[in-house]
Every structure is written in structure tokens, then in C-alpha cells.
Amino acid sequence: MTGDSRTNLPRLALHVPEPKFRPGDAVDFADVAVPPAGAQPRPDTAAAPDSFHDLSYTLVRVLDEQGQAVGPWNPRLDPDMLRRMLLKMATVRAFDERMFRAQRQGKTSFYMKCTGEEAIAVAGTMALDRDDMTFPSYRQQGILITRDYPLIEMMNQIYSNSGDKLQGKQLPIMYSSKDFGFFSISGNLTTQYPQAVGWAMASASKGDTRIAATWCGEGSTAEGDFHSALTFATVYRAPVIFNVVNNQWAISSFSGFAGAEATTFAARAIGYGIAGLRVDGNDALAVYAATAWAAERARTNQGPTLIEHFTYRAEGHSTSDDPSQYRSAGEPTAWPLGDPIARLKAHLVNIGEWDDERHAAMDREVAEAVRTAQKAAEANGILGHGLHQPLDTLFDGVFEHMPWHLREQQAQMMAEEEASGRPWARKEGH
């Protein structure tokens, strides 16, 4: 076709996604579809993925507006477990608040809160077995807290102090603990997805019973690692749970840049032929139920499940971010799915297993525990107050047995440091 023959065609136009609300705008989330709690069917865990595609487009919900747990997804947890879930979520929030203030006081360089998203990590972790392996992103501190990892150890890592088991070699909040089934957090987005699939494939190939679970934000689904992971998981039916935390915002770009305008993130499971669920991420019971369902599928060789947790990032992306520069200040309070802690509290009160007095006492207890841990951690030092780790440990943690050329470089570095007249302490035995 020649150029002249195209003169009657419309000009091409590029679509650039634009968030609905910008700073100063009034917020109205009326177009966010929130189906009634309990209205979503719960398929058998052995059901074929193509038999419940609708669950990728709705919202699995258990807690209704009156705080009642309703419908087939109700996990029917006993009150003690619900109270423990509430305690862990409250601990995560108190921990976040104190570490945020510590960063503002100059005690560490960086922190990331998960305010409004506590149910996703806490309830999800409670639905897994203790020895299942987790591959988190950087907003799932609730996994460690739910598994009773010592708060002081988390703070030592944040402060990169002398008690930091990672020896100050990771950005603050990028924890790692093999003993607690918590794979090292990476600042490179979505690297944990193929790692989780590889671990799950290894578990299956060995005839083990442990499964893997991994988390990423909705923006990270645009990364190639996300799709590579899903391809491998689909082909080999890896026993893995893919959690996509759709909190509406990446650092400063909204979910439309990752494809949210076209369809849901759970719908990506359909293209890969795997199970997909879209869940109310602020409903702790729905998160628990969906994770337990996906875990049973994985353990019975039914393959992977992708769960989209529909939620909202109430705070900034990190302490380096100012959300007032790109979104309306009214968004967090207008979000129609509410606060996950308040909703779980309301449920416990509704069934006669909780009250305002006990809740206030719990908050005081949690605040004191976090404060005590912080005091103990700061006794080990804070970031920026000198070198907290012996200088020669700089070369540790890369190889099981340090190769000769690194030993040579290490010796040269220490010799130069000692010759400078300001030698740093060596670790014991060096």
C-alpha cells in the first residue's frame, strides 16, 4: 500500500495509562467492584483450573460489613488462632512505626512499611506449614514476625550493627534466615519468582512434602522473571504459590503501567493454564483460606496457584518516597476494603471473643515489646556510627571456601589498612 492510499486512515495514537486521581483531587472509588462477602464458590482443590476462571475476576471475601465470617471460603478458625493472627498483625504495624521513626532519626538509611497490607503476609504465613520455604519481596516482614523470628535480629539487620548476622552486606530490611524458611530478599525485582519455582521443583524431584510460596508487587509482574517463572511452574507443575500484591502503586507509577487497565493480575494465571484466585487482601480470613486452598493443591500435585491480593498501599513506597507528589491524599482513607486489623478486630468482637479493653492492652504490650527490642538492638550500634563488622569479613559469605585470589586480595587490603595507621579489628581467628 502506498503512502497516498493511506491518507483516509485515522492516525495512530499511543495510549499512556493515567491514574484516576492526582494530588489535590477528590477521591471516589465507586467504580471499584466489591462483591458481597461469601458469594464466591470454593472449588475442590483437585478441580481443573479452567473450571473456575471466574475466580480470577471477582474477589474472594469472607468478612462482611458487619464483621461476620460467611460463605464457603470461611476457614472456621478457632478464636485462639484468630487472636494470634491479630497479635501478629498488630506487631507488624508497631514494628513498622518504630523503625520508620528510627530512620527519620538518622539511625538507619532506609525502611519500608506495609501499612494496610499486614494480613497478606501474616494470614498467608499462618496457612503454610512451618517448614515451607518463602521467597518474599521487601514488604513481607510479617512472615518473619509470624514465625516468631526475634525482633532484635530484624532490627540488628536494619541498623547494620555488630549483631547483624548478614554482616552489614544487605540493604536495611532485606532480611535472610534459612532456619526460618525465609529466602534472602533482593532489591532486584521479581528475582525471587524463578528462585521459588526452582526450589519447588527440587522439592518435588526429591519426593519431599514441602512447598514454596513467593510474593511480588503488581508492578513487578511486568518483569521477565515473572513470566519465566510461570512458564516453568506450568510445565513442571511445580508446588509453588505465586502471590501478587496488587496495592495499586509501584514506587510512583500506578498499576495501569503493569497492565491493570486491561484485566486483573489473577487473570494472568488463565493464560498459563494454572489456578488463579483474586482475593480481598484486607480480609485476613480470605487470605488465609485462599493460601490454605492453594497449599493443598500444591501438596497434592495439582500444580501452582496465582493469588492476586487486592489491597492498597496506605503509606509511601519507602522512606525515600513522598506519595503526596503523585497521588491524592484522600486515597488511603477512601479505600473501600478498609483496614485489615480493624476488620479482624471487629470480627472477634462480633463473635464475643474480643473487646476494646483487651485490644488496647494488646497494643500496649506490643509497643513495649518492640521498644524493648529496639533498645537492645541499638546497644549493638546503629548505622553510620563506625564500622560495626571487622574489616576482613568483607570477603566472607560469597564462597563456601574462599579461593586463593580473594585471600590474596584480603591480605593486601589488611596490610594496607594496618600501614595506614588506622587498622580495623580483625575477626577472631584471622
Residue 394 has pLDDT above 60, yes or no: yes
Domain identity same for 350 and 403: no
Domain identity same for 355 and 423: no
Hey, what's the cell of 379? 546497644
Element (H, E) at 29: none
187 inside domain: yes
Distance CA 218, CA 117 (A): 13
pLDDT band at 420 (very low <50, low <70, confident <90, very high): confident
> How many independent structural domains does the chain possess?
2
Domain identity same for 398 and 374: no
Where is the domain boundary, 350, 378, 406? 378
Residue 2 has pLDDT above 70, yes or no: no
Q: Which domain holds residue 132?
A: 49-378
Nearest residue to 348 via CA among 61, 81, 35, 73: 81
3 inside domain: no
Domain identity same for 190 and 259: yes
CA distances from 75 to 58, 63, 71, 374 (A): 19, 11, 9, 35
Residues 6 or more apart whose Cβ sits within 8 Å of residue 323: 249, 252, 315, 316, 317
pTM comes to 0.95
Are the CB atoms for 382 and 108 separated by under 8 Å? yes
Nearest residue to 110 via CA among 167, 171, 166, 164: 171
353 inside domain: yes
Domain identity same for 340 and 401: no
Which amino acid is it at 116?
A: G
DSSP code string of 236-262: HT-SEEEEEEE-SBSSSSBGGGGTTTT
Distance CA 193, CA 135 (A): 7
131 inside domain: yes
Element (H, E) at 46: none
pLDDT band at 1 (very low <50, low <70, confident <90, very high): low
Residue 312 has pLDDT above 70, yes or no: yes
CATH number at residue 128: 3.40.50.970
- Report the pLDDT averaged over residues 78-90: 98
- 220's torsion region: left (phi>0), alpha (psi -120 to 50) or beta? alpha
Nearest residue to 336 via CA among 310, 316, 307, 317: 310
Distance CA 239, CA 300 (A): 9
pLDDT at 428: 53
Domain identity same for 249 and 395: no
343-389: pLDDT as tens digits: 999 999 999 999 999 999 999 999 999 999 999 999 999 998 988 98
Domain identity same for 219 and 119: yes
349 inside domain: yes
Q: What residues form DSSP beta bridges with 246?
A: 310
DSSP code string of 112-139: ---TT-HHHHHHHHHTS-TTSEEE--TT
- Report the pLDDT averaged over residues 278-294: 98
175 inside domain: yes
123-139: pLDDT as tens digits: 999 999 999 999 999 99
pLDDT band at 423 (very low <50, low <70, confident <90, very high): low
Domain identity same for 142 and 99: yes
Residue 197 has pLDDT above 90, yes or no: yes
State the number of CA atoms in the 13 A half-sphere of 38 facing the CB: 11
- Report the pLDDT averaged over residues 173-189: 95
Torsion over CA: 45, 51, 53, 59 (sign): negative
pLDDT at 8: 87
DSSP 309: E
Lookup result for grid cell 512499611: 113
Domain identity same for 277 and 412: no
Residue 240 backbone dihedrals phi, psi, to 5 degrees: -140, 145
The 10 Å Cβ neighbour count of residue 259 is 17
Hey, what's the cell of 21? 486521581
Distance CA 192, CA 219 (A): 14
Q: What residues form DSSP beta bridges with 279?
A: 60, 309
Domain identity same for 218 and 252: yes
Domain identity same for 303 and 369: yes
Domain identity same for 234 and 258: yes
pLDDT at 251: 86
Distance CA 246, CA 56 (A): 13
7 inside domain: no
pLDDT band at 149 (very low <50, low <70, confident <90, very high): very high
DSSP 396: T
> For the packed helices 79-104 and 340-350, what is the interaxial angle rounded to 10 degrees?
150
- Report the pLDDT averaged over residues 260-268: 96
Element (H, E) at 417: helix 404-419
34 inside domain: no
Residues 6 or more apart whose Cβ sits within 8 Å of residue 134: 125, 128, 140, 143, 181, 182, 183, 212, 213, 214, 215
